[in-house]
Structure 1
Amino acid sequence: MLRRLTPVLLTLVVVALGITALAARPDKGDPERDADFVVLAGVAGLRWDDVDPETTPTLWRMAEEGSIGSLSARSAHRPTCPVDGWLTLGAGNFAAWNGSRTAGGCPATGVTVEQPDRIGANLPDQESVVAYNQDQLTWGATPGSLAESVRCSVAVGPGAALAAARPFGRVDRYAPVLPADPAELLGSCVLSIVDLGTVDGADRAIRTAQARQADAQLARVLAARPPRSLVLLAGVSDTDTPSRLHVAVANGPGWEQGWLTSSSTDRRGYLQLVDLAPTALAALGRPMPERLFVGRAAVPVGGRPADLRAAIDVPADADREAGARHSVAGWFFTVLATAQVALAVAVLPLLRRARRHAGPHGPEPVTRRVVAAVELLLIAAALAVPAALLADAAPWWRGQHAAWWFAVVTAALIVGGTAAVRLSPGHDRTLGPLGAVAGLATLVVGVDVLTGSRLQLNGVVGYSALEGGRYAGLGTVGLGVLIAGSLLCGGWLAQRTPRTWRPMVMVGVGSAAVVVVGSPYLGADSTGAIALTAGVSVAAAICTGGWLTTSRLAWATMAGLALTIGFAMVDLRRPEAERGAVGRFLAALGDGTGGLAVHRSSTANIETLVNSPLTVLAVAGAALVWFALLRPWGGLMRLFGIYPAIRAAMAGTGVAAGIGGVLGGAALDVAGAAGALVVPMAALAALRVLDHATDRTQPGAEAGTGTAGGPGGRPDARSEAEAAECGAADGPARVPAQGAPTSTAAPTA
């Protein structure tokens, strides 16, 4: 009866802990109506390094009194050209202009603004732009949604006309340039959108002159602002490549001296361009067109330094880090994939010759020195991603040669981690390096998530605020490392416990990882938590040995489905702005926009599959496992037979990484990150198992602790340790009769 109830109890534990992780969300504050008028002022290309008290004194005072943040000017196209940025501002969704463009460039087109009267204007191209966004782009944006949400809006300048035009092209009130006294114009409607110009180019003198001109325009706007008004200033687009983070300032009643944030980023000091339209409507107390907006209203939060210079240095430094990360991340993953593929090729002949022959004839075994060197290289390869994550604790991006500084810091951390694993207790045991590497990787990612995921934001192996996919919690690469590390840790610990306790150990470690991944306070990745639950369930089902039978697979599937349903029920009960990925997807299915969500996810999977270097890691790792390690000479099957909990952990890692990548729109990226840790450790453990495949227990030795001899009767400390490990984990080793020695390996499960 106990054996039958164990899967049920384990399923309930995993589901309960997983749902508990989603049961509470951090309070970000509810935006309330605090203005009678809203003025949205945009400057294309304006960054925080353009702001100083001498060049932009008006903006400096505005930021000193109000709340500030880093703006991700993401649109439906990359880079975000000025026309794309203004359209996205007016759509509250990721939009883009329908003109032709070169790769990495902007469309060579101007905005046609017709003025049939002296009041408003018409944009003849607006209807074709709306059709293009709804029919050909994956976000289904409707340019003009912001203007449709208010009775009257004002636009000043051609860029503002794009944002203020209704879907059929009408601008309620329009002025091509800011009047000498704009008070009457800005007070004629509750919403005003003003184009203050552009700051572009790499020449500092030109940027300074353009920023000074935009600041003079801003001074006239602030002098003529209506009473009880909220003024939002934003760098609405990029003006060069690569993309950068831009200025965001909110000034008005209730927005004094704080950081800007929104529930779309869940990161203090960060918001998106699509958040400005919901912020304006929330400040005016107008209802949100939830089906049209993907952004969320921004709110001010505390914690900003009193000194504005110190406060501005924070987003300016984040912009430098994000820019440096853009150029470094590509070559890091390319080098990592190349190195791991080369190491996999180098391991193949070692696997062929790792099994030592006891007789007088046989191939010459590989020297211990070569094997030890390869083992160190495998450990270093497995620690590369955690070391790269930890490297962001050092400000490598501030130097002139950022890529070289990152390489030096990462290499030093890899060497230090490898030395720590080499000198750790139990390194000579078969699973010693595997357990140490898994523990270090889990510790690095787990501590980062518990402390706010600061290393992952704009980190080389994290996520970039410029890309706009994620701003807080656990990233794609971090998810893969945490899945692999936590499950391998669980398997390593379970292997050291009695067989009946192994499922409990695996569930305990896995459930803790599920909470870290799924909690909105921590990893904030509900789809990752669901994927990890499936992996933990599979690992717990087979960690005692045997195959993944129908009943075990049924319990694992039920655990994953139960957690998914639990997530969905809790998430759907939340307000729209607080829902996670699962709740948003189910809500989209309910309101008829689920097709767009599925299309975006499938498109993201295809693009990532084709363009990501992690795809090479995943494919190369799978090829090494299938065509080498799982062959009779590869050693992995023997490893699985001796250590069933490790087999369970690796199987669970494969299941969780595959599901997590597909559900998260990351294709094989999660599997590639997990494989970068698992495959080298699997190869190392297989080498050690093969090295002692012909070791024999000496007659009369005690069970589980008998002295083992290598070829020619040489005693081997690692053989003794492996024999003791097998004996402690899988019961006493068979003691052969005199003259009939047998292998110390336990029977294959």
Structure 2
Amino acid sequence: MLRRLTPLLLTLLVVAFGITALAARPDTAAPRRTADFVVLAGVAGLRWDDVDARDTPTLWALARQGSIGSLSVRSAHRPTCPVDGWLTLGAGNFAASNGSRVAGGCPAAPVTVEQPDGIGANLPGQESVVQHNQARLPWGAVPGSLSESVRCSVAVGPGAAVAAARPFGRVDRYAPGLPADPAALLGSCVLSIVDLGAVTGEDPAARAAQARRADAELARVLAARPPNSLVLVAGVADTELPSRLHVAIADGPGWERGWLTSPSTGREGYLQLVDLAPTALAALGRPMPERLFLGRPAVAVGGRPADLPAAIAATADADREAGAQRRVAGWFFALLTGAQVLLAVAVLPLLRRARRHAGPVGPAPVPRRVVATVELLLIGAALAVPAALLADAVPWWRGDHAGWWFAGVTALLVVGATAVVRFAPGHGATLGPLGAVAGLATLVVAADVLTGARLQLNGVVGYSALEGGRYAGLGTVGLGVFIAGALLSAGWLAQRVRRELRPVVVVAVGGAAVLVVGSPYLGADSIGAIALTAGVSVAAAITTGGWLTVSRLAWAGMAGLAVTVGFAVVDLRRPAPERGSLGRFLAALGDGTGGLTVHRSSAANLETLVNSPLTLLALAGALLVWFALLQPWGGLMRLFGIYPTMRAAMAGTAVAAGMGGVLGGSALDVAGAAGALVVPMAALAALRVLDHSTDRTRPGEGRPAAGRPGAEHDAPPPAPECGAPVIPAGRTPTPAGGDAAPERAADASTEVARA
């Protein structure tokens, strides 16, 4: 009875780990009113490398006394052209215009503004824009939601009119440009939106001239700002491809000399365009239209360097890194996919010839040097993603040839890590390389997450601030590598203990991994924690033997469901601004807007499935496993029979990676990242198991022979003493070299018989 209840009890323990990780969230107090007036000044295309003390003295002084950050101008259209940016600003949600598009750029889109009474204005196309965003776009944005949340608003310039227009097109007060004395106009309403022009092109002289004009207009705004006012300056849009990070400055009471951040980014120094509307309402003490706003109010936090040039240089450097990341990430994953596919093709003939024949006649085995070379290549391929993550510790993006610098740094790290694995103790054991690679990958990702995930932000194998999907915590690729590394490490450790203790080891390691993934202070990925809970439950259930049956899969699903329900109960009790993604989704289901979330997730899965190179990597790994490694000649079935913890670890990885990708809207990306680590190591372990398939040794005999790793069974065994048992051909004893204790030889033989 105790043996039957063990998987249930361990599943409940994993569930407890998961809920503990997801329930604790940082305390975030509700924003308080800080201003009587808010002035939003926008400059399309303004970047931090356009700001300096000589050409833009007003922006420089404002940044010195206020709080600054890098602004991601994501909207419902890519790139975010000026009209899209102004619409998104006014909607507090990802919006876009319904005008014609030009591939690869932003067309000139004049805004029609009618002034029938000389006080306000009217945008005749606003209602069609609202209908376009409601009916054809998956975000449910309502342009004009910001102006609808205040009694009166002012717009200066055509871009500001787009942001300030109410859903039916009315602008309360409008001026085509700043009057001679703008004080009366800016003080007539609590909210003013000012279009300061645009900074376009890549010519430094032209950009500097445009930035000077915008700076001069801003000086007039600041001179006429109402008392006790908050001024927000933002580079509200891109003006061409590629997309960039833009300027964000907040100046007013309570915004002195800090970094800007918001709950939507969770990263100091980063803000989204959709956060500006909630920030304005929070500063004015006005209620939020929660169903319409996706952004969250910004706050100022400490930690900014006292030296303003250093702070601005850091934001400009982040923009350069994000731009370089987008260029380099595509070819890195394409090369990784190609290399792993070529290795899979190269491994096939080795698998066919790896099994040694017991008799004197048979085909010649593959030369040891060739096998050793392929093993090193498999180790290097499995370590490519962790090495690429570590490469972002070096500022490779600052050079003239950023891609080559990244390639050189990553190659050196791959070679160094492969050497560490090759010369690590226990490399000659069948599972030695697998355990070392899994441990290194887990440590690299965990160390980055525990130190703030700085390597993943704008990293080649991380996430980009330009995409606007994630700014902190564990990214998609990092989640896949961490899931695979943690579960393989758990399986490797469990194989070294008695059978009855193996589930405990898997739960201990897996539960710690769930905490790292799900904690809002660390990985901040509730979906990933739920998926990993299911994977750990599967691994714990079959770690002592057996296969992934329907009942065991049901237990894993129940564990993931229990974590989901437990977190949902806790999350729904929080105030709406403090809820996580799951709580917001359930609240949306309650008010009838949950279909938009499902639509967005489905669209994201389909887009990622079609466009991501990790999809091809996941499919190639699955084909190698199914049509080669799992065949009778492939060696993986034999590996699973001798080492049941590896079967458990790989089954748990497949469940967790599949669930994490589909539920998180990233399709097969998580599975592809996990497969980049698991498949090469599975092929290497299969090669070694097949190489020893005809060994005849007694339990405990055999030591690694000189000349090659894992050669402990090359020499013929000594003749047994009279009466000593002889293991017949076809049976594989407990592998020597530290894989299992000698006293567990009988268990190993039983596992081989089951295989």
Structure 1 distance, partners of 2:270, 2:201, is 24
* Structure 1 residue 551 displacement after superposition: 3.9
AA aligned opposite 2:177:
V
Q: Which segments of 5 or more consecutive residues in structure 1 lack a partner in the other structure?
A: 736-742
Q: Conserved in 2, the CA contact under 8 Å of 1:101 and 1:108?
A: no
- Separation in 2, partners of 1:544, 1:664: 31
Q: Secondary structure at the match of 1:747?
A: helix
Equivalent residue for 1:695? 695
Rounded Cα–Cα distance in structure 1 between residues aligned with 2:224 and 2:717: 92
Q: Which residue of 2 aligns with 1:713?
A: 716
Residue 20 of structure 1: how far off its partner (Å): 1.1
Task: Compute the displacement of 1:358 (Å).
Answer: 2.3
Match of 1:722 among 729, 735, 753: 735
TM-aligned CA deviation for residue 585 of structure 1: 1.2
How far apart are 1:532 and its partner, in Å?
0.3
**Paired residue for 2:656?**
656
Alignment-mate amino acid for residue 207 of structure 2: R
Match of 2:325 in 1: 325
Q: Secondary structure at the match of 2:188?
A: coil
Counterpart CA distance in 2 for 1:319 and 1:85 is 18
Give matches, 1:324-403, under 5 Å: 324-403=324-403
1:732 aligns with 2:738: no
- Report the equivalent of 2:561: 561
Residue 66 of structure 2: aligned partner = 66
**Pairwise CA distance, 1:706:** 5.4
Q: What is aligned with 2:721?
A: none
CA drift of 1:363 comes to 1.5
Residue-by-residue CA offset, 1:155-174 (whole Å, 9 max, x unaligned): 00000000000000000000
Q: How well do the aligned residues superpose, as a CA RMSD in angstroms?
A: 1.7
Q: Quick one: structure 1 residues 62 and 706, their matched pair in 2 at CA, closer, same or farther if it must change by over 3 Å?
A: closer
For 1:161 and 1:366, locate their aligned partners in 2 and report how far apart those are by CA, in whole Å.
Answer: 74
Q: Which residue matches 1:88?
A: 88
Q: Deviations over 1:458-489 (max 9, x none)?
A: 00000000000000000000000000000000
Contact 2:696/2:717 (<8 A) preserved: no
Task: Tell me the distance in 2 between the aligned counterparts of 1:456 and 1:577.
Answer: 26
CA distance in structure 2 between the aligned counterparts of 1:122 and 1:359, rounded to whole angstroms: 92
Q: Distance in 1 between matches of 2:575 and 2:104?
A: 38
Aligned-residue offset at 1:527: 0.4
Matching residue of 1:629 = 629
Q: Does 1:146 align with 2:146?
A: yes
> Does the CA-based 8 Å contact 2:638-2:689 persist in structure 1?
yes
Partners of 1:661 and 1:671 within 8 A in 2: yes
Give the secondary structure class of the aligned counterpart of 1:43: strand
1:712 offset after TM fit, Å?
Answer: 7.5
SS of equivalent residue, structure 1 residue 520:
coil
Task: List alignment gaps of at least 5 residues for structure 2.
Answer: 704-710, 719-731
Question: What is the aligned partner in structure 2 of residue 738 from structure 1?
Answer: none
Distance 2:492 2:745 in 1: 19
- 1:460-539 aligned at under 5 Å gives the runs 460-539=460-539
Query: Residue 593 of structure 1 corresponds to which residue in structure 2?
Result: 593
Taking the aligned partners of 2:368 and 2:570, their CA distance within structure 1 comes to 56
State whether residues 106 and 240 of structure 2, in contact with CA within 8 Å, keep that contact through their aligned partners in structure 1: no
Amino acid at match of 1:16: A
Q: In 2, Cα distance between the equivalents of 1:85 and 1:348?
A: 52
Q: In the alignment, what sits opposite 2:753?
A: 747
Match of 2:723 in 1: none
Structure 1 residue 195 corresponds to structure 2 residue 195? yes
Q: In the superposition, relative to structure 1, how do residues 724 and 192 fare at CA in structure 2: closer, same or farther (>3 Å)?
A: same
After superposing the two structures, state which structure 1 stretch, 357-366 or 600-609, moved more: 357-366
Partner of 2:156: 156
Matched, 1:448 2:448: yes
Q: Distance in 1 between matches of 2:204 and 2:28?
A: 38
What SS does structure 2 have at the residue aligned with 1:154? strand
Q: How does 1:398-417 map to 2 (within 5 A)?
A: 398-417=398-417
- 1:265 matched to 2:265: yes
Normalised to the residue count of structure 1, the TM-score between the two structures is 0.96
| SS at 1:696 equivalent | coil
Deviation at 1:329, TM superposition (A): 0.3
Quick one: structure 1 residues 302 and 28, their matched pair in 2 at CA, closer, same or farther if it must change by over 3 Å?
farther
Residue identity in the other structure for 2:90: G
User: Which residue matches 2:727?
Assistant: none
How do 1:114-153 residues align onto structure 2 when only pairs under 5 Å count?
A: 114-153=114-153
Amino acid at match of 1:683: A
Provide the residue aligned with 1:242 in structure 2: 242
Q: Which residue of structure 1 aligns with residue 726 of structure 2?
A: none
1:38 aligned onto 2:41: no
Checking the alignment, whether the CA contact within 8 Å between 2:463 and 2:475 is kept in structure 1 is yes
The residue identity in structure 2 corresponding to 1:747 is A
Higher mean displacement: 604-613 or 561-570:
561-570
Matches of 1:727 and 1:334, distance apart in 2: 39
CA distance in 2, matches of 1:269, 1:292: 25
Q: Where does residue 282 of structure 1 map in the other structure?
A: 282
Distance 2:248 2:183 in 1: 23
Residue number in structure 1 paired with 2:297: 297
**1:419-458 to 2 correspondence within 5 Å?**
419-458=419-458
> 2:7: which partner in 1?
7
Partner AA of 2:744 in structure 1 = G
For residues 706 and 231 of structure 1, the distance between their equivalents in structure 2, rounded to whole angstroms, comes to 76
CA deviation after TM superposition for structure 1 residue 583, in Å: 1.2
How much does 1:30 deviate? Answer: 3.4
User: What amino acid is aligned across from residue 36 of structure 2 in structure 1?
Assistant: D
Counterpart Cα distance in 1 of 2:28 and 2:285: 18
The letter of the residue matching 2:226 is P
Deviations 1:273-320 (A, max 9, x none): 000000000000111000000000001111111111111111111101
Cα deviations by residue, 1:501-560 (Å, 9 ceiling, x for unpaired) = 000000110000000000000000000000000000001000100123444333222211
- 1:248 match: secondary structure: strand
Q: Aligned equivalents of 2:745 and 2:349: distance in 1?
A: 34
AA of the residue aligned to 1:379: I
Give the match's secondary structure for 1:746: helix
Q: Distance in 1 between matches of 2:328 and 2:136?
A: 32
State the shift of 1:582 in Å.
1.3
Preserved CA contact (<8 Å) 1:321 1:458: yes
Say which SS state the counterpart of residue 507 (structure 1) adopts. helix
Partner of 2:182: 182
Measured in 1, the distance between the counterparts of 2:691 and 2:134 equals 62
Task: Answer whether contact 2:538 2:648 (CA < 8 A) is retained.
Answer: yes
Q: Say if 1:476 and 1:729 are closer, same or farther in 2 by CA, change over 3 A.
A: farther
Counterpart of 1:113 in 2: which secondary structure? coil
How far does residue 723 in structure 1 lie from its aligned partner after superposition? 3.7
SS at structure 1 position matched to 2:350 = helix
Structure 2 Cα separation of the partners of residues 22 and 547 of structure 1: 30
CA contact (8 A) 1:537 1:559 kept: yes
| 2-structure distance, mates of 1:746, 1:705 | 18
User: In the alignment, residue 398 of structure 2 is paired with which amino acid?
Assistant: R
Distance, in Å, in 2 between the alignment partners of 1:706 and 1:746 is 19
> How far apart, CA to CA, are the structure 1 residues paired with 2:747 and 2:233?
77
1:9 to partner: Cα distance = 2.0
Distance 1:327 1:47 in 2: 19
What are the Cα deviations for residues 32-60 of structure 1, in whole angstroms up to 9, with x where unaligned?
10000000000000000000010110111
Task: Give the Cα–Cα distance (whole angstroms) in 2 for the partners of residues 486 and 730 of structure 1.
Answer: 28
Letter aligned with residue 585 of structure 1: F
**Residue 711 of structure 1, CA deviation:** 6.5
Task: Tell me the SS of whatever aligns to 1:624.
Answer: helix
State the shift of 1:615 in Å. Answer: 0.3
SS of the equivalent of 2:392 reads: helix
Fraction of identical pairs, as percent = 79
CA separation in 2, counterparts of 1:176 and 1:222?
18
C-alpha separation in 1, matches of 2:158 and 2:511: 55
**Equivalent residue number for residue 739 of structure 1:** none
Alignment check: 8 A CA contact 2:35 2:284 kept:
yes
Q: Distance in 2 between matches of 1:123 and 1:734?
A: 79
How far has the Cα of 1:747 moved from its partner?
Answer: 2.7
